Amino acid sequence: MGIYFEMFITFFKIGCLAFGGGYAVIAILQKEVVEIKQWVTNDELTDIMAISQTLPGIIFVNSATMIGYRKKGLLGACVATVTSCMPTFLLILILTFVIWGFTDNPIVHKAFTGILLGVTALIINSVKKTWQTAVKHYTDVILALLSAGLMLFTNINVVLVLLFLAALGFAKNLYFLTVGGKQNESH
């Protein structure tokens, strides 16, 4: 029961700090579940985040579900999923009753602007950490720039871009495995 309570506390805490959505929460997830709890490795978290982005739903909840399943199976996935949703549900419930009438207030508006700036910093930090984990070869830089270009400058669906990049990444790795293996045999 201890691990489930630990998962409950961890994902509830992360959910309370997950302003800005999935991309902003990557750094917090990395710190909590990789560095502190060691429930998954950095490479596994990178894979989990990539899969979570391609699935429907909230990236953080998808990631929490996969981490919970990885750690404690179906019950772990259920605990992580419900717990990761709780803070948002409670906050929205409170905001609906308390703050809804104050959204035009300049002080409230400035507070939300400050939160957005903080979220921007979290996203930049997440990009840096993901880059360090994912980019291992110059071809990875090319694929990253290609995907960024497709998402920024076209109207192609993100899922299609990710599937296209997954196919290119698979082909690239297959090529290097076959060509690299043949080059090693000749030496």
- At 65 the pLDDT is 94
3-state DSSP call for residue 103? Answer: coil
Please give the radius of gyration of the chain, using alpha carbons only, rounded to the nearest integer. Answer: 20
Separation of alpha carbons 67 and 77, rounded Å: 7
Separation of alpha carbons 33 and 45, rounded Å: 9
The two tokens of residue 55 are: 């699935």
Average pLDDT by consecutive 10-residue portion of the chain (187 residues)? 91 83 78 92 89 84 93 94 90 78 78 85 84 85 90 90 89 81 49
156: left (phi over 0), alpha (psi -120 to 50) or beta: beta
- At 132 the pLDDT is 85
User: How would you class 43 by CB atoms within 10 Å of its CB: exposed for 0-12, middle for 13-18, buried for 19 or more?
Assistant: exposed
Q: Which residue is listed with tokens 């997950």? A: 18
Domain limits, the chain: 2-132, 135-187
